[in-house]
Amino acid sequence: MKAVIFDNFGSPDVLRIADVQRPVATTATVLVKVMAVAVNHVDTFVRSGAFKTVLAAPHVAGRDLVGEVVASSQPDFQIGDQVWTNSMGYEGRMGATAEYVAVPT
């Protein structure tokens, strides 16, 4: 799947589109097909290295997404549910700027 990633901290020039492995739903996540993302100032802090946090590798950029659940073992989240999150892309979580994201429940 396609995602916007960065390998090193820096300016927007470090961002690139790449093929990455599609995540899977787990007992702690639902798989979301991304419909839209937003870019905010926290994304620039993470990308520049100013916001110190553990990053997933490869690091997919972005925190905010809206999407549709496509796989879930969670009783509170059904396939087809539309969801929103603003907590991706830091503390070891994959970012939001991808075709699919495993979102913690």
Question: What does the pLDDT look like over 74-94, one tens digit per residue?
Answer: 999 999 999 999 999 999 999
Check which CATH number belongs to the domain holding 17 and give it.
3.90.180.10
Instruction: Give the residue numbers spanning the domain of 91.
Output: 2-104
Burial 42-74 (b: 16+ CB within 10 A, else e): bbeebbeeeeeeebbeebbbbbbbebebebbeb
pLDDT per residue as tens digits for the range 26-65: 999 999 999 999 998 999 999 999 999 999 888 999 999 9
Overall number of domains in the chain: 1
Q: Which helix (H) or strand (E) holds 6?
A: strand 2-6
